[in-house]
C-alpha cells in the first residue's frame, strides 16, 4: 500500500446470495483471515439485507465485518420495503454503503438524498461508505473531476470524520464491465478527492479512499499501490472467498 492508513477491502454482494451457500463462503473467508497471525487490513462484506443478521452473527469476533448495501434516511416510519440504518445496526452491521451508482441510477438518488442517508448511518453508529463516480459520457466530455467534486461536496454527511466515513470512487463505466481506468487516471481522481476533502474535513488525511470497478486478483496489487488508494470496493470478485482473498492478500 502507498499509505500509512489501514486498508479496507470491502465486498459488495449486490443482489446475490442465499443463506446456506453464502454462509459457507463467509466461513471460508473467516478461516483464511484467521489463519493470519495478524490481519493488516479491515475486511468488510456487504450482503443483501436478508443476510445481514445471520452473517453478522457468524462473523462476530472474527476479522470480518458486515455491512448493509443501503439504508433509508429516516429511523422508522411508513416506508414499505426500506431498511433503516438503526435496523442494520441492530442486525449487527458495522458499515453501510450509500450512494452506489446503481442506487443513484436505478433509484434516482440525488447527492442530497445520499447525504441524508449517510447522516442517518452516522447517527445509528454505522460507518458510512459514500460512493462517487462518473459515467462514460462524463469522462469522455472531460467532466470527471468536476462531477466527482460535486458528488463529494454535496454527499458528505455533517459530522463526517476519519473514524465514521469512507469514500469509494467507482467510475460507473468500469462497474461489472471488466474495464478499468489507467493507474494514472485512478491516481488523478484519488488525489483530487483527497484535495477536496482537505477543504471540507479537519481530519481529511485520515479518511480512507477506496477504488472500485472491476477489481480482481489480477489487477488489485497495481491498483492498491496507487497514491491515495487505501483499499478496494469489490463487486463480483467478492462473491467467492477464493476470488476475494487474493485481493485481500495484496494489502496484508
Sign of CA dihedral 132, 135, 141, 142: positive
Q: Which of 102, 119, 170, 192 is an active site residue?
A: 170
Q: Which of 172, 162, 180 is nearest to 132 (CA)?
A: 172
Q: What stretches of the chain adopt beta strand conformation (E)? A: 8-12, 42-46, 64-68, 95-98, 127-132, 165-169, 208-212, 231-234
Tell me, yes or no, if 100 is annotated catalytic. Answer: yes
C-alpha distance across the termini of the chain, in Å: 9
Q: Which of 100, 190, 192, 228 is an active site residue?
A: 100
Question: Is 130 within 8 Å of 98 (Cβ atoms)?
Answer: yes
CA neighbours within 13 Å on the CB side: how many for 167? Answer: 35
Rounded to the nearest 5 percent, the helix, strand and coil shares of the chain are 45, 15, 40
Catalytic residues: 100, 170
Amino acid at each position: 500500500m502507498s499509505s500509512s492508513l489501514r486498508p479496507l477491502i470491502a465486498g459488495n454482494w449486490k443482489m446475490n446470495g442465499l443463506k446456506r451457500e453464502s454462509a459457507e463462503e463467509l466461513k471460508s473467508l473467516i478461516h483464511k483471515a484467521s489463519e493470519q497471525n495478524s490481519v493488516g487490513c479491515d475486511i468488510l462484506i456487504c450482503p443483501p439485507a436478508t443476510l445481514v443478521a445471520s452473517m453478522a452473527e457468524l462473523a462476530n469476533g472474527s476479522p470480518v465485518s458486515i455491512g448493509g448495501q443501503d439504508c433509508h434516511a429516516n429511523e422508522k416510519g411508513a416506508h414499505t420495503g426500506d431498511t433503516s440504518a438503526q435496523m442494520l445496526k441492530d442486525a449487527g452491521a458495522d458499515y453501510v454503503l450509500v450512494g452506489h451508482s446503481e442506487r443513484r441510477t436505478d433509484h434516482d438518488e440525488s447527492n442530497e438524498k445520499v447525504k441524508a442517508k449517510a447522516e442517518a448511518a452516522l447517527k445509528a453508529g454505522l460507518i458510512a461508505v459514500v460512493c462517487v463516480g462518473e459515467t462514460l459520457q462524463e469522462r469522455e466530455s472531460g467532466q470527471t473531476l468536476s462531477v466527482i467534486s460535486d458528488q463529494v461536496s454535496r454527499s458528505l454527511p455533517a459530522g463526517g470524520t476519519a473514524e465514521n466515513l469512507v469514500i469509494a470512487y467507482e467510475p460507473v463505466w468500469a462497474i461489472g464491465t471488466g474495464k478499468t481506468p489507467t493507474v494514472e487516471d485512478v491516481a488523478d481522481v484519488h488525489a483530487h478527492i483527497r484535495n477536496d476533502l482537505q477543504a471540507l474535513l479537519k481530519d481529511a488525511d485520515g479518511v480512507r479512499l477506496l477504488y472500485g470497478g472491476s477489481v480482481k486478483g489480477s489487477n488489485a496489487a497495481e491498483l492498491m499501490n496507487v497514491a491515495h488508494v487505501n483499499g478496494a470496493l469489490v463487486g463480483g470478485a467478492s462473491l467467492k472467498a477464493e476470488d476475494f482473498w487474493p485481493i485481500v492478500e495484496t494489502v496484508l
